[in-house]
Amino acid sequence: MLQRVCSLIAIVVTIIVSHALLAAADEWEKVLEAAKKEGTVSVSGPVGADRRDALTLAFEKKYGIKVEYWGDRGSAVGPKLSAERNAGKFLWDVFVGGTTPGMIRETMFDPIEPALILPEVKDPKQWRGGGIEYLGRYLVMTQSQRGTLYVNPKVVKPDSITSYKDLLNPKYKGKMVLDDPTMAGPGQATVQFFYLHPELGPNFIRELAKQQITVLRDYAQELDCIAREKCLVAIGVSDIFAEARMKAGMPIVILDPRKLKEHSDINPGAGGLALFNQAPHPNAAKVYINWLLSKEGQTDFAQVNGYISARLDVSTAHSPWRVPIPGAIKTYTKAATDSTDNVVVLFKEAFGRK
């Protein structure tokens, strides 16, 4: 009797799943047809030709829908979009970028979950942690361990630094550079990580300030400082920018967070995804979002950025050191970002900046 009941349940489940798949396929075809009539999808994304190509070329080839792409550094995106919207211009469909404060106001977005259609996108088993991670109206595509410390291996042996507290050594005084934590970006995320870490915290930031660190707002200058042996350590630079310079032959090493006692933080970088409200091409936006969250879209996006996709079927071989370390601090959650103002105030106080 029990076996018969189980068999009946299995049949019912199969029928329900089959109906769901057929419904999803029917919805997808209707949305795709409408998207092709719209002909264009407008995407606000991260700066860089390689990133632009990863977010446009394969999609355009597959669907025949043109991607109108605008790339810029995160701190510049929010003000531009606010100005456009205040002028009554609603020009963009999809946002790909950072999730930290100062990037963009969440009130510009619609809930993204209703836009997910493809079964391979909606299946929770496909995603790290057992499901898609949402941060308000952002969808988190890339939960990646972040690079925080950089050295020139000709001058500083990478294995000689095993803890952030090693930076308090007198030999580094006056010989370090930090990306400005008062701006949204990797420098701010790094100091926020210091602030939140139970073994570091505000006192560590105050002690670090005594090391007479140079604070800059330009990744190229920050990396040139160590490449030209004017500095010994760079803190909080963009690891994506650093990897590009490393590929070009610049003598730089990103310290592996797995070899640092306190590790580093997890952050999606430019791997937040959101759907603009009042989007000019709503159907093309849905097609684009589902494509980007597929294995195909995530593979290209993760590899060009060096990120770790939240999809479990996307390879991590390109950046194994970025695979999330269990228990690592997330600097993009609401609880973390709520500390941003306190972090900036502490930094200014400790570093004597107005």
DSSP 37-76: HH-EEEEEE-SSHHHHHHTTHHHHHHH--EEEEEE--HHH
Tokens in use for 234?
A: 């760079």
Question: Do 235 and 339 have their domain in common?
Answer: yes
Question: Do 316 and 339 have their domain in common?
Answer: no
Give the separation between CA 81 and CA 62, rounded to whole angstroms.
29
Question: Do 32 and 84 have their domain in common?
Answer: yes
Q: In this model, does residue 135 exceed pLDDT 70?
A: yes
Tokens in use for 232?
A: 């010994």
Give the separation between CA 209 and CA 253, rounded to whole angstroms.
23
Question: Do 55 and 72 have their domain in common?
Answer: yes
Q: For 352, what's the count of Cα atoms within 13 Å in the CB-facing half-sphere?
A: 8
Question: Do 26 and 123 have their domain in common?
Answer: yes
Question: Do 172 and 218 have their domain in common?
Answer: yes
Inter-CA distances, 207 with 9, 170, 226, 236, 350, Å: 64, 11, 22, 17, 8
Q: For 148, what's the count of Cα atoms within 13 Å in the CB-facing half-sphere?
A: 27
Question: Do 90 and 137 have their domain in common?
Answer: yes
Report the pLDDT value the prediction gives residue 72, as an integer from 0 to 100. Answer: 81
User: Are residues 268 and 301 in contact, defined by beta-carbon separation less than 8 angstroms?
Assistant: no
Question: Do 308 and 336 have their domain in common?
Answer: no
Top pLDDT among 295 and 20 is at 295
- N- to C-terminal Cα separation, the chain: 77
Residue 13 — very low, low, confident or very high, per pLDDT cuts 50/70/90? very low
Residue 11 — very low, low, confident or very high, per pLDDT cuts 50/70/90? low
Top pLDDT among 312 and 16 is at 312
DSSP state of 255: P
pTM of the model: 0.81
* CA nearest neighbour of 266 among 216, 307, 205, 295: 307
Question: Do 206 and 152 have their domain in common?
Answer: yes
Give the separation between CA 214 and CA 216, rounded to whole angstroms.
7
Q: In this model, does residue 145 exceed pLDDT 90?
A: yes
Q: In this model, does residue 119 exceed pLDDT 50?
A: yes
Question: Do 212 and 93 have their domain in common?
Answer: no
Region of poorest pLDDT, from 26-30, 85-89, 190-194, 274-278: 85-89
- 62-71 average pLDDT score: 96
149 forms beta bridges with 235
Report the pLDDT value the prediction gives residue 17, as an integer from 0 to 100. Answer: 45
Residue 21 — very low, low, confident or very high, per pLDDT cuts 50/70/90? low
Tokens in use for 297?
A: 């879209």
Residue 324 — very low, low, confident or very high, per pLDDT cuts 50/70/90? very high
Q: Count other C-beta atoms under 10 Å from residue 133's C-beta.
A: 18
Question: Do 250 and 202 have their domain in common?
Answer: yes
Residue 51 — very low, low, confident or very high, per pLDDT cuts 50/70/90? very high
Mean pLDDT across the chain, nearest whole number? 91
Residue 20 — very low, low, confident or very high, per pLDDT cuts 50/70/90? low
3-state secondary structure of 186: helix
**One-letter amino acid identity for 89?**
K
Question: CATH code at 232?
Answer: 3.40.190.10
Question: Do 218 and 229 have their domain in common?
Answer: yes
Residue 273 domain boundaries:
2-144+268-322
Number of structural domains in the chain: 2
* CA nearest neighbour of 179 among 260, 117, 237: 237
Report the pLDDT value the prediction gives residue 106, as an integer from 0 to 100. Answer: 76
